[in-house]
Each structure stands twice: as structure tokens, then as C-alpha cells.
Amino acid sequence: MTPVILLAAERKSAEVTDWAARIGWVVGLALFVALVYWLMREGWKWRGTLQGDLPELPTRPSPTTLDRGGEPPLPGTPQAPGPAKLTMSGRYHGSTTAGQWLDRIVARGLGTRSRAELTLTDAGLDVVRPGANDFFVPAAALREARLDKGIAGKVLTEGGLLVVTWAHGDRLIDSGFRSDHAAEHTTWVETLNDMINKTETEGAR
């Protein structure tokens, strides 16, 4: 063979070798991603199993529900929610054990991030989540509201989250929300805490 033919053959061999290496690298990366996804999924399921004792989430009180034989609201909760004190459109960023921003709660659908529509009434906090489980926090279960920057592994700007602490079963839960208009957060914190203080004062009488 002439030197030119030998050089061409070597180049062709190198190209084949490079393609084999690239394919192997892509396959290896795909397997790694699949493994990480599987581990995350199993971890999610395991966490959900550990939190299996979390009671069903309360639903909003409604005269219509009562008329049709539904469950009455919790003791101390009005049968009808009353007019809205505040409303908010934004995102639900998850729930954790109160005070532990990385201890994510996934049971009862609380682990699913979603859009959220919040309505605060005398009866409590109504959370409507398109494509995910809605839930209702009775006024008597509300414990605190504050501004924060992170929950369930999600970190935002300082004060970028409205975090509501509430009692459910034997747990205290922090739930994080971000309004489409973050300037609303302060009003929500003030109104919620005023409402909580009023409820606690009336309950102490």
C-alpha cells in the first residue's frame, strides 16, 4: 500500500473508533440518568410509605355538601366559608415538617408542586391546585405565617415565599406558596397572623 492509502485507512479506523466511543458514552450517560431517576422515584415512594399515617386532608366546608349528606366541618369551623378576606394566584412549592425545610412531605399529594389559587376566609385557607389535590386548612389549625426563601429544597429570593404553618393530625406542617405578585406576601402574613391571634384569643376564653 502507498502511504496515502495507509493514511486514509488509519483515518477511517479512527473515525469508527470515535463513533464507538461516543455511542458508548451516550449509552452510559443514559443509564446513569435512568438510575438517578429510579433512585429518586424509589426514595419518593419510600418517603410516602413512612408518611402513610398522615390523615386525609380536610376539604372546604360547604352548605351544598352538607345538604347532600356530606361530612360536617371540623368543630369550631363555620358551615359556610363566608366572604373572601384575601385571594392569591401563584404556585405551591411544597410542604415540609415545620421548621425543617428539607424534610419534604409527599403523602396525600402534598409533595406535588403546582399552580395554586388561595382563598382566605373566616373558615380557613382554601388551596385549589389544578391537576393536583386541593386541600383546606381550617382556621383553628392555622399556627403561623411568615416570609421565607426556601422550602422542600426549593430556594428563592429572600422573602420570596409565603410559608404557612398549620396543624394536621399530630404534625405541624409548613406549606410554601409564591404569589404571581410577590408584593402581596406581606399583606397575607399580616392578615393570617391577625386571624390566628384572634382565633387563639377566642379559644382561650
Domain count, the chain: 2
Residues 8 and 67 in one domain: no
**Averaged pLDDT for residues 120-137:** 94
Residues 10 and 36 in one domain: yes
Higher pLDDT, 25 or 8: 25
Residues 39 and 87 in one domain: no
C-alpha angle 45-115-70 in degrees, rounded to nearest 5: 75
Higher pLDDT, 154 or 70: 154
User: What's the predicted TM-score (pTM) here?
Assistant: 0.71
User: d(Cα 175, Cα 105) in Å, to the nearest integer?
Assistant: 10
Task: Give residue 10's pLDDT.
Answer: 54
Residues 11 and 73 in one domain: no
Question: Is 55 contained in some domain?
Answer: no
172: which strand partners? 167
How does pLDDT run across 145-161, given as a tens digit for each residue?
Answer: 999 999 988 889 888 99
CATH number at residue 102: 2.30.29.30
Higher pLDDT, 85 or 28: 85
Task: Give residue 53's pLDDT.
Answer: 79
Query: Max Cα separation, the chain?
Result: 104
Residues 125 and 195 in one domain: yes
Task: Give residue 185's pLDDT.
Answer: 98
User: d(Cα 60, Cα 69) in Å, to the nearest integer?
Assistant: 15
Confidence of residue 72 (pLDDT cuts 50, 70, 90): very low
Residues 20 and 100 in one domain: no
Q: What is residue 98's DSSP assignment?
A: T
Residues 5 and 77 in one domain: no
Residues 69 and 45 in one domain: no
Task: Give residue 128's pLDDT.
Answer: 95
Residues 192 and 129 in one domain: yes
| Mean of all residue pLDDT scores within the chain | 80
How does pLDDT run across 82-127, given as a tens digit for each residue?
Answer: 789 999 999 999 999 999 998 999 999 999 999 999 999 999 999 9
129: which strand partners? none
Residues 44 and 108 in one domain: no
Structural domain range at position 167: 63-204
User: Cβ atoms within 10 A of the Cβ of 188, count?
Assistant: 21
3-state helix, strand, coil in the chain (%, to 5): 40, 30, 30
